[in-house]
A and B are shown apart, each in its own frame.
Chain A
């Protein structure tokens, strides 16, 4: 029974460990050692609040998040959310294809990037639409076992476990721009609007019954746990190797990836780069197939258009057009020679950051609506919980946006 329900949460959690995620954690570990480990507990709590809400809504209503937003709030909010979501997801897709390119570069040299991105785009498009998405999903999920490498590597590097535990439990914060930037990056890559849309569509598609709610909760928490365990060990592994060796990693440096790969050296020795590249490739591919799909589901839901990966072009023209366009845009921009990588990895964070404060109140209102949720509406306790999460995330994203538009705000650089 549990196995039949499990899926949406675990998949969402693992897809969240995408190119931007892996890079973000690795940068955190290599720049600040274990100091940001505590943040993972915070992001996990936030994710549990948001994802369990959408999982509950999907199970109870059998509808996607866009469906509910359109039906409950009408056209204008829907339109805004969709515009932001499209650009946020398209920007994230660009980052994923850039991740594919980066991995190819590590594996086969500089030129490989220009071959790998279009091939990956075609592969993703073809496998999702014409192959079996479920099979693709499972294979990619299985490949996430590569991340076990970080766990092994973390142990082999013999970190000072007392430090690790200390920083996990006791928050550290520096009011310096690089620290704030990485702090916000981790929140931005971990807590994303597309996850909410994706998990709810996925749950709704599965046709779960409210009786399945307890299993669905297990699924959600399991996904978030997996996500955070991997993140935790990436930070520990990079902290114990790169940070400990005082290697400086500059995110805008083209060789940043190969430096980050050093974290896997205790396990893989001279093949560290290759192992890192395989992990990055897998993460990027998984996200590059899921993100456009999630975008497409959300938009077709909002406008009530026919959708489904098994539909022909004649049956669901809008669905296939949006899906294809997102992939083409994502891969196309990532292909651009000399694409500014920093901007590419930061742009999704910026747009996601703008969308999140817009989306969270809608989410909470929906989950409280008795007419939609019946007796499964938010409990008062959960409202306090999700309210705190909302205020925290809104504050962080507003601070982040402020730092983008007024670069001198946190001490200048």
Chain B
């Protein structure tokens, strides 16, 4: 990784190895999405005070070599939107959108992309501090000797917004409380870009429902698990209770067994029971894919009674595609759409107008089979039954598609860090 601090104070030598000066600062122009380095400000040279980045040939270990000789150096071309990194960004206060102080800019991460040097991230961690005072190597050896991990703490440049009028502070584009008003999918996108600490801070600011929805939107099970692990058990189990049982089961499957067990115990009994049932199925079967949130009504009810029952259940939008009809032992007898229920005469028994020939899959069916069934019959969800035709859950079309087509077109932007 390249950092601004690697350049600051570096010796600058020209093509004939003559000393030109030292680096005082790097100049960037504000290009989107990442600022591009355009010039170098020098110190220790009375004649040449700056040079264009285009004449830099290479750099390593505190030395910057130029392509040209010192005599032909021109000052860098100035631009209105230019920013001096060391003077205007480094060490400045970072505040979030609520004006809460977060930390200072300890260092800036640069990256060479197609011949340009771009500022891609802001270092906010202790490693950045150590690097600036020249003891990062020492710290790394010490932490390694102690068997500890010493992670870089970086946030993407996209998440910050240097306020030009007041160069003393750098604003984070994300505010914890304003976040709560966004759609969970958008929050998930932002959370993807944050450091683990920031992620848990964001989750701490959301209510249980929102947190649950956001967690469901995050694609990577490891990330979901790591977010939950950083929350305290009470709070984590509250969020889990608000999530769909199948999502919870997937998530817990990716966690250390002990922690998962702990979370299950803290959850309400009903919810925990559903999840445990799901956890028992292999992940690559319909049983592992399904959710236990579905709507089933007894075949003896009338249309009016069935609608009344739906009102009592208040099902989530996702699970109300179909209303399944069962007997007292949960044998799957038929299926109804909401439309069927509403247009039927209120006093008609539902077994008289339900579709008896229900398409279903077995618990041990593979994802591909489930996908084929749903697409062949154009279903939004397919019920999952055991060998006695008892219903255990449903697999929704998005859950199965996610499984068989992991690389969705237009998927999430890759994270840098």
In the complex, whether B235 has a CB less than 8 A from a CB of chain A is no
Q: How large is the interface on B (under 10, 10 to 19, 20 to 34, 35 or more residues)?
A: 10 to 19
In the complex, whether B133 has a CB less than 8 A from a CB of chain A is yes
Q: Is B102 in contact with A306, judged by CB distance below 8 angstroms?
A: yes
Residues 271-307 of A contacting B (Cβ, < 8 Å): 303-307
In the complex, whether B168 has a CB less than 8 A from a CB of chain A is yes
Q: Is A304 in contact with B93, judged by CB distance below 8 angstroms?
A: yes
CA distance A75 to B106 in the complex (A): 8
A70-B91, A304-B93 known; A75 vs B101 contact (CB < 8 Å): no
In the complex, whether B43 has a CB less than 8 A from a CB of chain A is no
Q: Is A74 in contact with B90, judged by CB distance below 8 angstroms?
A: yes
In the complex, whether B320 has a CB less than 8 A from a CB of chain A is no
Q: Quick one: which of B86, B93, B129 contacts A67, CB cutoff 8 A?
A: B93
CA distance A63 to B92 in the complex (A): 12
A75-B91, A304-B94 known; A70 vs B104 contact (CB < 8 Å): yes
Binary flags per residue of B73-101, CB closer than 8 Å to A gives 1, else 0 = 00000000000001000111110000011
Binary flags per residue of B203-244, CB closer than 8 Å to A gives 1, else 0 = 010000000000000000000000000000000000000000
Q: Is B129 in contact with A304, judged by CB distance below 8 angstroms?
A: no
Q: Is B129 in contact with A307, judged by CB distance below 8 angstroms?
A: no
| Nearest B-chain residue to A306, judged by Cβ | B101
CA distance A190 to B70 in the complex (A): 54
CA distance A312 to B171 in the complex (A): 22
Q: Is B101 in contact with A71, judged by CB distance below 8 angstroms?
A: no
Residues in B neighbouring A305, C-beta threshold 8 A? 101, 103
CA distance A70 to B129 in the complex (A): 12
| Nearest B-chain residue to A308, judged by Cβ | B101
Residues in B neighbouring A163, C-beta threshold 8 A? none
In the complex, whether A79 has a CB less than 8 A from a CB of chain B is yes
Q: A103 → chain B, closest Cβ, in Å?
A: 38
Residues in A neighbouring B132, C-beta threshold 8 A? 74-76
Residues in B neighbouring A63, C-beta threshold 8 A? 168
Residues in B neighbouring A310, C-beta threshold 8 A? none
Residues 86-134 of B contacting A (Cβ, < 8 Å): 86, 90-94, 100-104, 106, 129, 132-133
CA distance A303 to B204 in the complex (A): 23
Q: Quick one: which of B86, B90, B104, B168 contacts A303, CB cutoff 8 A?
A: B104
CA distance A37 to B280 in the complex (A): 86
Residues in B neighbouring A76, C-beta threshold 8 A? 132-133
Q: Is A71 in contact with B91, judged by CB distance below 8 angstroms?
A: yes
Residues in A neighbouring B92, C-beta threshold 8 A? 71
Tell which of A71, A79, A304 has the most Cβ of chain B within 10 Å. Answer: A304
Residues in A neighbouring B102, C-beta threshold 8 A? 304, 306
CA distance A305 to B104 in the complex (A): 8
Residues in B neighbouring A315, C-beta threshold 8 A? 100
A63-B168, A67-B93, A304-B94 known; A75 vs B133 contact (CB < 8 Å): yes
Binary flags per residue of A347-375, CB closer than 8 Å to B gives 1, else 0 = 00000000000000000000000000000
Q: A205 → chain B, closest Cβ, in Å?
A: 13
| Nearest A-chain residue to B100, judged by Cβ | A306
CA distance A23 to B123 in the complex (A): 47
| Nearest A-chain residue to B133, judged by Cβ | A76
Residues 315-365 of B contacting A (Cβ, < 8 Å): none
Residues in B neighbouring A314, C-beta threshold 8 A? 204
Binary flags per residue of A306-344, CB closer than 8 Å to B gives 1, else 0 = 110000001100000000000000000000000000000
CA distance A314 to B231 in the complex (A): 13
CA distance A75 to B134 in the complex (A): 11
Q: Quick one: which of B129, B168, B204 contacts A75, CB cutoff 8 A?
A: B129
A71-B168, A76-B132, A79-B133 known; A304 vs B90 contact (CB < 8 Å): no
CA distance A15 to B374 in the complex (A): 77
| Nearest A-chain residue to B92, judged by Cβ | A71
Q: A203 → chain B, closest Cβ, in Å?
A: 17
Binary flags per residue of A65-98, CB closer than 8 Å to B gives 1, else 0 = 0010011001110010000000000000000000
| Nearest A-chain residue to B129, judged by Cβ | A75
Q: Quick one: which of B86, B104, B133, B204 contacts A304, CB cutoff 8 A?
A: B104
Residues in A neighbouring B90, C-beta threshold 8 A? 74
Residues in A neighbouring B168, C-beta threshold 8 A? 63, 71
A63-B168, A67-B93, A75-B132 known; A304 vs B103 contact (CB < 8 Å): yes
Residues in B neighbouring A71, C-beta threshold 8 A? 91-92, 168
CA distance A76 to B91 in the complex (A): 11
CA distance A187 to B137 in the complex (A): 41
| Nearest A-chain residue to B8, judged by Cβ | A74
Residues in A neighbouring B94, C-beta threshold 8 A? 304
Q: B22 → chain A, closest Cβ, in Å?
A: 15
| Nearest A-chain residue to B90, judged by Cβ | A74
CA distance A305 to B126 in the complex (A): 13
Q: B195 → chain A, closest Cβ, in Å?
A: 15
A63-B168, A79-B133 known; A74 vs B91 contact (CB < 8 Å): yes
| Nearest B-chain residue to A80, judged by Cβ | B133
| Nearest A-chain residue to B106, judged by Cβ | A75
Given contacts A67-B93, A75-B132, list 10 more A-B pairs with CB under 8 A.
A71-B168, A74-B90, A74-B132, A75-B106, A303-B103, A304-B102, A304-B104, A305-B101, A314-B204, A315-B100
Q: Which 6 A-B pairs have the closest CB atoms?
A: A304-B104, A75-B132, A306-B101, A304-B93, A304-B103, A76-B133
| Chain B residues near A (Cβ < 8 Å) | 86, 90-94, 100-104, 106, 129, 132-133, 168, 204
| Chain A residues near B (Cβ < 8 Å) | 63, 67, 70-71, 74-76, 79, 303-307, 314-315
9 residue pairs of the A-B complex, CB under 8 angstroms, read A71-B92, A74-B91, A79-B133, A303-B104, A304-B101, A304-B102, A306-B100, A314-B204, A315-B100
